[in-house]
Amino acid sequence: MTLTQPPPTDLKTLIDTYNHRTRTSKQLAAANRAVMADKSAIGYAFSPEIKELCYPIVAVRSQGSRLWDIDGNEYIDILMGLGTNLFGHNPPFIKAAIEAQLDQGIQIGPQSELVGEVARLVRDLTGLERVTFSNTGTEAVMTAVRLARTVTRRSKIAVFTNSYHGHFDAALMRAPLSEYARKKVMRSLQARPLLAPLAALMQHFQGTRAVPAALGVPNAIAKDVLVLDYGNPKSLDVIKAHRHQLAAVLVEPVQSRCPELQPRDFLHALRDLTQAAGIALIFDEMVTGFRVHPGGAQAHFGLHADLATYSKIAGGGLPLSIIAGSSRFMDAIDGGPWQFGDNSAPQIPTTFFAGTYCKHPLALAAARATLQHLKDQGPELQHTLNQRTTDLVNRLNAFTTSADIPIQFTQFGSFFAIALTQSQIPPSSLSLISYHLLNQGIHLRGGDRGGFLSTAHTSEDIDRIFQAFQTSLTPLQSKSPL
């Protein structure tokens, strides 16, 4: 069974309901469009059919598991700051830390007295040797790649299809369309037993060429990037063949776009290969960091990357990102440790790293409160939250199976989503599910296919989330989905 496009009458009802509930949000989007260039809805591409849905909810207040929009609607939030708010909105212990620092002032330029303590908390939780701070995930990944190139004296990097590493040019790469066509043909052949050997043969012809994924990204930058299949053992052969040119392999250990793929054995083989070849293994833990385990995906999978980048949860809701890793790579920021009172001096050649708002006092105060709370609570915090998410995903999958709806949900830690590789649903229907949920008081970004549970979500909240998905997905078992 494959789902079809939604009938126009049902689509009109959905749009009318959403527009009525959120009319002030729509009015503000229209009023601001001429002056503000804003792409806040990135979960789907613009299309004329859903033009009247293309605006974000304007929130005016949030607390715990809930937020309220400008029209007075109350939502159970599963967007949770795009994964930032592990403890819900405005948790008291983070609010108190920010207020205390605000009373002391916002000193930009001098060193913050908090910086060493926060760095040690990161080290204690992740097991990585040295730490520095920036503001966004994009900046952190960009810095990690620069460090890898500085230390290895190589220029190429490898990334994987479906990974997201921010919006700096070297990360905005994809495989060429011919590679996507090859994979589509392979999937078709694999579905036919007699032709499966041909599919296996085609797997040997994996492409590696990168092309810019967005306008404005120079083609010249793509020459230093390989785009490989994540989890595919053939990708390891490609990395080995290019080992003398590769500075780094950049990995989102569990991809936010494909969370059902969790290739433990592949990651261990990749760790062994990069270590032997002197290639920096960089883990992008923006989503996975501190979520599945206090030590993130590295602790979950039982390995250590050379460099890891964090944001979201780590900043406690304020802009902060972390670059952490082994001394071999991190020493390229400051030349390595030295001491007062002797003849020691920095020994390592350095690259450039800076930013006015790096180590912002308010962000460090929120980070200290967050990381100390995670350290005090220990792995049981994540274990309990992960199990509650597992229970929700199991309920959702039991429902879709019994209702003969060709959708499966997956999870990694407290992040859950529709598993696209295990579901049959057209993009139009997928985008509209989020608006059905919004109309029922479950908040996520338009076009998203899953969300995050926090420690603030109650059992009653989770029941309502399940019921809203159930109501949204039920029409898919009829001839007139959504």
Structure confidence by residue, pLDDT tens digits, 46-61? 778 889 998 999 999 9
Does 262 score more than 70 pLDDT? Answer: yes
Average pLDDT on 84-89 reads 98
Tell me the CATH architecture of domain 106-175+210-377. 3-Layer(aba) Sandwich (3.40)
pLDDT of residue 41: 56
Instruction: List every span in the chain annotated with CATH 3.40.640.10.
Output: 106-175+210-377
Structure confidence by residue, pLDDT tens digits, 91-145? 999 999 999 999 999 999 999 999 999 999 999 999 999 999 999 999 999 999 9
Averaged pLDDT of the chain:
92
The 3-state DSSP composition of the chain as helix, strand, coil percent (nearest 5) reads: 45, 15, 40
Contact between 176 and 209 under an 8 Å Cβ cutoff? The reply is yes
Average pLDDT on 32-43 reads 78
Classified as helix, coil or strand, 344 is: coil
User: What stretch of H or E contains 69?
Assistant: strand 66-69
* Model confidence band, residue 45 (pLDDT cutoffs 50, 70, 90): low
pLDDT of residue 306: 98
Q: Evaluate the CA torsion angle 127, 129, 135, 141 in order and state its sign.
A: negative
Contact between 441 and 18 under an 8 Å Cβ cutoff? The reply is no
pLDDT of residue 191: 67
**Count, residues in the chain:** 482
Does 207 score more than 90 pLDDT? Answer: no
User: What's the rounded Cα separation, in Å, for the pair 404 and 479?
Assistant: 12
pTM score, whole prediction: 0.92
Q: From 238, 240, 104, 242, select the one nearest 179 (Cα to Cα).
A: 238
Minimum mean pLDDT range among 7-16, 241-250, 336-345: 7-16
Instruction: List every span in the chain annotated with CATH 3.90.1150.10.
Output: 8-90+380-477
CATH superfamily name and code, 8-90+380-477: Aspartate Aminotransferase, domain 1 (3.90.1150.10)
pLDDT of residue 177: 77
Average pLDDT on 437-457 reads 94
Does 287 score more than 50 pLDDT? Answer: yes
